[in-house]
Amino acid sequence: PERIAEEWWRPGASGEVDAIRDYYRVEDEEGRRFWLFRAGLHGGDREPRWFVHGVFS
């Protein structure tokens, strides 16, 4: 994954770990490619959430 996070030296606006996103490029069984990201970290106060950020053609 590729991690995108707020600058560690600046407090986040929300103070939530959702500001950390791990991006993944995935391909399904039919060859379609997607760009997904997970908001948040495992083991935090809330379960991380998954989103489709884009579709590759």
Please tell me the pTM assigned to this model.
0.69
- The secondary structure of 1-57 as a DSSP string is -EEE---TTS--SS--GGG-EEEEEEE-TTS-EEEEEEES-TTSSS--EEEEEEEE-
- The answer on pLDDT for 56 being more than 80 is yes
pLDDT tens per residue, range 24-34: 999 999 999 99
- The answer on pLDDT for 20 being more than 70 is yes
